[in-house]
Structure 1
Amino acid sequence: MKLYKKIILGVAACVALSACDDWLDVNTNPNTPISTDAEFHQRLPWMQFYMEHIYHIVASNTSFYCGHFYRNNAREGGAAKWQLDSSTRAANAQQWFFTQVGVNCNDLYNQAMEAGAYHYAGAAKFFRAYGFMMLTDLFGEIPYNDAFGENPSPVYDNGKTIFLGCITDIDEAIELFSRQQEAINNVTPVDLVEGDSWNGGDADKWLKMCYLLKARWLNHLVKKEAGNYKDGKYDAPEILNCLAKAQQSNADNTVIKHTDTNTPSHDVLGWNEPIDYSALYSCIGMNSNIYITKCYYDNLTNFDGKGIEDPRADKFIPWTRSMKGPETPIDIKWSDDGLWRRSMGVDMQTDILSQSGPYALSFDATTQSWYCDSPTRKGDTIYVWTTCGGTGYAGGVDILYRRNKSYDTSALSGVFYARPTSPSLMASYSEACFIKAETLFRQGDKSGAFIAYKEGVKASIDFVNDQIGVWTSEDGKLESCPSFTHIEQADIDNFLNNALGNSSDITLGKILTQKMLAMPYSNENWNDMRRCDYDTNIFMNWDKSYYYRNTPAGFTYCPEDKSPRRWKQASYELTYNTTNLAAIGSQVPGAAELGEGWYNNNLICTLPVWWDSNQE
């Protein structure tokens, strides 16, 4: 639609991941590129780039609702404190999908079908499903059927329509990826490998990814009555059927391998940053004042109270160079050589946030030590930022961050998933295992659930260990930091066999908590919290923060009996499409209680989206 097409022609000018000269060669009129100038195989890598970035940029915000991370700022910090009048990444989600991914889907599909390039057509359906499902997860109702037509003020569709439409699209993507591409008029279509930056042209991996996403989305329907998924019902047999065709090992993962070269090729339609590094580095790793919480720390260091540390703990909890002093708390973990100190977790169940903590650390070059320049917050040196460095964009000597570039003693490790070269998982065997475990558990098959749950944890540990090997093979000096040491098989076996419990004591809480640990920056964490109603009996060591419970001003936007359920619409919709937004209110769960102007009501973020509601 015209509202979303105003700034998309730049995509035609950025259709290749190589030099800018390449796209000039494909334009009929290089001075005025139009959408048809971009061939279908040239659209795909940029759609992939933006879709991955959108998803993880959004996840870098939504993850803070779930109690594992805190940041001293309004947006992510507001999410962690459930101050729902805080800003979100709504504009990024809405604008980047509509103008940089979604607007290309029809052209990609039509061009590919005409050429017999069914795998590219399948990718078009995949991205349409992926993006719109993400948006309905966030906003509930959005323009869907009318989204890319000529109407400058597109009408909204309700959540059920969007959800079922996305399922139809992913089913068509599955059908298209299952077909062989065919020559049309004796012209052989471009092979998928020419445009696929995610799976290297492996259609089987695309199929497995489609089946996983379908299982993921159908699993959102646990609040609906049992029945056929095509009717919007909870369909456990179909979930298990999809998982049988999804990833069967880590080798089937769709994983994006990032580099950090400070390439001159920049994201010209987004933040004007290099296109090669991880989106989570952009949102988490390169930023300061982001901490892990005690909930996250406890789940990693003493899962289920078994006294056995998760072998991923040293990789997921940040470290800093430090020196042990006489007042150092005894429960802080140090490296064997005493040069690295691991962070503690910010206890969100205390008044630390109300008391201006955690306070940012400073580095004293004279003593080469850390300090807090707030007399009342000196103890906050136990909390380490998740900030990391890099050799490309950050211009460092390695992937450690140094608060003072002249001193190695000011180094911070960062965390596994938020470095510039951290792999981005778009579809994983580990997630498939956890969804299977949950589905079987809900059916009463505890034995099968435990096997899948344990395998999901193992898959995550193995994935982490493999990437640690990549980093240390590139820079052996990193092994001096526990964040980069190889995980020993004995530690893996001890954790898997003695910390996870057994089939008789498996719970939904264990499954979902381990799923969240394996996928710390995923929108599925917020989806899981919502569909399980933020149940403290399910999410281990989690509860609403002390700050939220003791700051009545926040109840204006999130009363004590409510919780974060959706995002307020992006400003573009509120400003330019208000009439249609208002009109969909009669179909929005709970909107009638908010009255006219429901979309701007203080309680808008507490309204459930369709799959999270009791609507048919």
Structure 2
Amino acid sequence: MRSLKYILSGCLLVLGATSCKKWLDVNTDPNNPNNETVLVQNRLPWIQKFYCYTAGVTNFRTAAQSGLYYSNSTVGNALSTTWKFHTGNTTPYQTWFVEVASNLNDLYNTAQKKGAFHYMATANVFHALGFMQMLDVYGEMPYTQALTDLASPAYDDGKTIYYGCMAKLNDAIDLFGKTQDATAPALASGDMWNGGDVNKWIKLCWGLKARYMLKLSKKSDLYNADSILYCLSKGPQSIADNVVQQGFNNSTVTDYLLGDPVVTNGNFDYAAYGSNQRISKYHYDLLTNMRGSGVTDPRMSKIVPATMSGIQLDASNKVASFTWRRSEGVDVLGTATRLVKGGATSIVIPAYATANTNIKYTIANATDRANFIADQVGAGRTHTVNGNDVTVTYKAGSIFINNPNYLYSGDTIYVNLRSSSLATSGIAAQGEKDVSWYPSAAAFAAGAVASTGSFQVRPVSDQEILTYHEMCFIKAEVYMRKGDVGNAWTAYRDGIQAHLDMMQAKLTSWQAAGFAATNPDMAPMNSGDMSAYLTSGAVATAGNLTMSDIMLQKYIAMGCSIEIWNDMRRFNFSAGNVGSFGVVYPGYDRGPLFTGDANYTGSGKTDPRYWQRRWALPTTLEQNYNLTNVLAMNPNATEPNIWSMPVWWDCATDGEYYGYLSK
């Protein structure tokens, strides 16, 4: 895979409020760059950034699988709605090897020559982060030979990859504990994540070990609750220990591989760059009716986007008045009435009316026509009826669906997650402090916002690598498995509080920076609402806490993260057959538009192969160019139902796992 190597010297990166010149001096001789002259302090920030890029696409696509998002894109919809896949997900694999993994040996070896032990340690951390992610999604892949000169490396099984990654974390902890040589570059000179704070890096390593050890919860011979608790005791202890990659909106530089913005949050690049993604009803209901309480979570208005509605323009065609309308969730898993009628990918992007616009709808069904007319009356829209034809006038300033199919006319209730960046808005006048989405330059000029975006997936959002709230929820789960409900409840409450505090800190910083001036969803939450939520029926008491309570709060807090899908696999989604915990994710199931019979061949919920368990290997990479090694490891790798085959840690025993790897 050495042919995938890309030297970072040709790129430009603008990374924040400082001049960031240190990030740009990639080579000692910029006119004659070569791999040997790249400084370790200049290689590390690129590795950090591009890891977030590959993690971003993985986070988004697994979040779609987990029911957080609906997507009407080809790949996203297959994961969120139809579950029908024919090919693999190439992008995470490609970006991992091209942009990150290909630089890890060079970072390690160059740092070793300089006695820069802390940079050596970071190479090990990224090795673990990336290859564990590859194991999570693809199962088997090149590992021991992956970063060698071999063009067609052999494959390793999931167990080998897992223990290899854990060994790298142990080595990293040892290396971070060493004192660097006096002439070695300080970690602070190249570290965008932790500013050179070695203690935070060490806590990151221990936290990752806890995360990865939790994956073994199905394996009675390997799962060790006390070992996980020990790792947690050495991991993050407060939100001050959170490890994130900060996103920016101060550059138009794009990635050389896929052309996406470089400085923005990696989750944004996939979940909110375009207009395809929306909040699911499953996600929405947890934010508005957790535990059947009817309580609206104070985080809801920061996670679920809003659009302007009922816009009135003044004489200069500027927005004079309006109301904010919060998005409804797309019902992918339930009855999905709108999608069943219109098609799995049919939700339409809104437009902006620069002048009064008439649209004629032909509606043959009398009931549908009557309901449609009632909707227009309720919305106060001018309309006329002529037989089966209903003509509606959308006033200037309206955000509406410019399509004559009446089924689509109400799609403005599904506000997309889209945010804007300098590199993507297409509106030259839109400044860096305004990341709302406008459907056109005319809408921007009027001040008509079509989406306020979502907390985790704005260009300026932090991309969460490891957080204190995740550690709390892991602790809660581990104690619950031990039967210690008291300590489980304390950790559960701590996790909710930690996530509220983390969000509030970021929202406060956005307000101080000026983002909330145009986007109220970027302003802080009401502190009274936060306190009231913690004592409401949405939050379990110590006497009625269930594993589902823990995992559903973790679901909200982790959001756009692969760890949600990892958790759901560990609990077999809504099968209810793990331990005595019952159904942990109630309501999650195949939806009415499911067409993935060839991919998911299980006969029922308790059959592992009923669910989305992994991704197929990239067809254009491994299956076309390394097929012999692919099939030598897993002769079923090219079968359609590979999507439902559990990965190593998702199996209770090695016998079960290796049984899947036999023809």
* TM-score, structure 2 normalization: 0.82
Change (3 A) 1:16 1:318: closer
Aligned residue in 2 for 1:93: 92
Equivalent position SS for 1:413: coil
1:122-168 Cα deviation digits (max 9, x unpaired): 10111111111111111111111111223222111111011011111
Does residue 339 (structure 1) correspond to residue 323 (structure 2)? The answer is: yes
Aligned residue in 2 for 1:355: 341
Deviation at 1:475, TM superposition (A): 2.1
Q: Is the CA contact 1:84–1:605 (under 8 Å) kept in the aligned structure 2?
A: no
Aligned residue in 1 for 2:387: none
Question: Which residue of 271, 274, 278 corresponds with 1:287?
Answer: 274
Change (3 A) 1:312 1:149: same
Question: Which residue of 234, 245, 258 corresponds with 2:247?
Answer: 258
Deviation at 1:359, TM superposition (A): 3.6
Aligned residue in 2 for 1:593: none
CA distance in structure 2 between the partners assigned to 1:143 and 1:9 by the alignment? 19
CA distance in structure 1 between the partners assigned to 2:109 and 2:68 by the alignment? 43
Aligned residue in 1 for 2:42: 42
Change (3 A) 1:273 1:213: same
Amino acid at match of 1:380: D
CA distance in structure 2 between the partners assigned to 1:78 and 1:539 by the alignment? 21
Change (3 A) 1:132 1:488: same
Does residue 454 (structure 1) correspond to residue 493 (structure 2)? The answer is: yes
Change (3 A) 1:47 1:324: closer
**Larger displacement relative to structure 2 (449-458 or 274-283):** 274-283
Aligned residue in 1 for 2:359: none
**Larger displacement relative to structure 2 (422-431 or 362-371):** 362-371
Q: Is the CA contact 1:15–1:42 (under 8 Å) kept in the aligned structure 2?
A: no
Does residue 213 (structure 1) correspond to residue 197 (structure 2)? The answer is: no
1:563-598 Cα deviation digits (max 9, x unpaired): 11111111211111111111112xxxxxxxxxx5x2
Aligned residue in 1 for 2:642: 604
CA distance in structure 2 between the partners assigned to 1:82 and 1:176 by the alignment? 47
Q: Is the CA contact 1:54–1:92 (under 8 Å) kept in the aligned structure 2?
A: yes
CA distance in structure 2 between the partners assigned to 1:274 and 1:74 by the alignment? 22
Equivalent position SS for 1:205: helix
Question: Which residue of 545, 570, 574 corresponds with 1:531?
Answer: 570
Does residue 375 (structure 1) correspond to residue 406 (structure 2)? The answer is: yes
Deviation at 1:84, TM superposition (A): 3.5
Equivalent position SS for 1:360: coil
Aligned residue in 2 for 1:576: 625
Deviation at 1:195, TM superposition (A): 0.8
Q: Is the CA contact 2:421–2:435 (under 8 Å) kept in the aligned structure 1?
A: yes
Equivalent position SS for 2:341: coil
CA distance in structure 1 between the partners assigned to 2:411 and 2:423 by the alignment? 31
Instruction: Mark the runs of 5 or more structure 1 residues left unpaired by the alignment.
Output: 227-232, 326-336, 586-595
CA distance in structure 2 between the partners assigned to 1:71 and 1:36 by the alignment? 44
Deviation at 1:345, TM superposition (A): 0.9
CA distance in structure 2 between the partners assigned to 1:181 and 1:5 by the alignment? 29
Amino acid at match of 2:584: I
CA distance in structure 2 between the partners assigned to 1:113 and 1:292 by the alignment? 46
Aligned residue in 1 for 2:370: none
Deviation at 1:306, TM superposition (A): 1.5
Amino acid at match of 2:204: M
Q: How does 1:235-274 map to 2 (within 5 A)?
A: 235-264=224-253, 266-268=254-256, 270-274=257-261
Q: Is the CA contact 1:16–1:23 (under 8 Å) kept in the aligned structure 2?
A: no
Equivalent position SS for 1:322: strand
Question: Which residue of 299, 306, 309 corresponds with 2:293?
Answer: 306
1:412-445 Cα deviation digits (max 9, x unpaired): 2011111111111111001111111111111111
Does residue 104 (structure 1) correspond to residue 103 (structure 2)? The answer is: yes
Deviation at 1:243, TM superposition (A): 0.6
Aligned residue in 1 for 2:52: 52
Q: Is the CA contact 1:48–1:197 (under 8 Å) kept in the aligned structure 2?
A: yes
Change (3 A) 1:489 1:16: closer
Equivalent position SS for 1:283: helix
Q: State the identity %.
A: 32
Amino acid at match of 1:577: N
1:203-239 Cα deviation digits (max 9, x unpaired): 111111111111111100011114xxxxxx1121111
Q: Is the CA contact 1:531–1:612 (under 8 Å) kept in the aligned structure 2?
A: yes
Deviation at 1:30, TM superposition (A): 4.3
Equivalent position SS for 2:338: coil
Does residue 198 (structure 1) correspond to residue 240 (structure 2)? The answer is: no
Deviation at 1:191, TM superposition (A): 0.6
1:469-494 Cα deviation digits (max 9, x unpaired): 12222226x35754133212211111
Equivalent position SS for 1:339: strand
Deviation at 1:72, TM superposition (A): 1.1
CA distance in structure 1 between the partners assigned to 2:331 and 2:484 by the alignment? 36
Q: Is the CA contact 1:5–1:99 (under 8 Å) kept in the aligned structure 2?
A: no
Does residue 488 (structure 1) correspond to residue 526 (structure 2)? The answer is: yes
CA distance in structure 2 between the partners assigned to 1:323 and 1:464 by the alignment? 30
Amino acid at match of 2:411: D
Aligned residue in 1 for 2:467: 428
Q: How does 1:34-183 map to 2 (within 5 A)?
A: 34-85=34-85, 90-183=89-182
Deviation at 1:519, TM superposition (A): 1.4
CA distance in structure 2 between the partners assigned to 1:141 and 1:37 by the alignment? 34
CA distance in structure 1 between the partners assigned to 2:290 and 2:40 by the alignment? 48
Change (3 A) 1:176 1:472: same
Deviation at 1:547, TM superposition (A): 1.2
Amino acid at match of 1:546: P
Deviation at 1:251, TM superposition (A): 0.6
Deviation at 1:371, TM superposition (A): 3.0
Aligned residue in 2 for 1:229: none
Question: Which residue of 506, 528, 541 corresponds with 2:545?
Answer: 506
CA distance in structure 1 between the partners assigned to 2:452 and 2:79 by the alignment? 25
1:87-137 Cα deviation digits (max 9, x unpaired): 55x322222222222222222222223322111111011111111111111
Q: Is the CA contact 1:112–1:121 (under 8 Å) kept in the aligned structure 2?
A: yes
Aligned residue in 2 for 1:334: none
Aligned residue in 1 for 2:382: none
Q: Is the CA contact 1:472–1:479 (under 8 Å) kept in the aligned structure 2?
A: yes
Deviation at 1:410, TM superposition (A): 4.1
Deviation at 1:609, TM superposition (A): 0.5
Deviation at 1:16, TM superposition (A): 7.4
Question: Which residue of 217, 224, 234 corresponds with 1:222?
Answer: 217
Amino acid at match of 1:388: S
CA distance in structure 2 between the partners assigned to 1:126 and 1:346 by the alignment? 38
Amino acid at match of 1:193: A
Equivalent position SS for 2:590: coil
Equivalent position SS for 1:54: helix
Change (3 A) 1:86 1:341: farther
Ranges of 4+ aligned residues in structure 1 off by more than 6 Å: none
CA distance in structure 1 between the partners assigned to 2:205 and 2:115 by the alignment? 20
Deviation at 1:347, TM superposition (A): 1.6
Report the aligned-residue RMSD.
2.3
Q: Is the CA contact 2:540–2:549 (under 8 Å) kept in the aligned structure 1?
A: no
CA distance in structure 1 between the partners assigned to 2:209 and 2:555 by the alignment? 19
- Number of residues paired by the alignment? 571
Change (3 A) 1:198 1:64: same
Equivalent position SS for 2:141: coil
CA distance in structure 2 between the partners assigned to 1:15 and 1:429 by the alignment? 32
Change (3 A) 1:86 1:312: farther
Amino acid at match of 1:390: S
Does residue 419 (structure 1) correspond to residue 458 (structure 2)? The answer is: yes
Amino acid at match of 1:383: Y
Q: Is the CA contact 1:129–1:167 (under 8 Å) kept in the aligned structure 2?
A: yes
Change (3 A) 1:485 1:556: same
Deviation at 1:22, TM superposition (A): 5.3
1:283-317 Cα deviation digits (max 9, x unpaired): 12221031111111110011111122111000000
Equivalent position SS for 1:107: helix
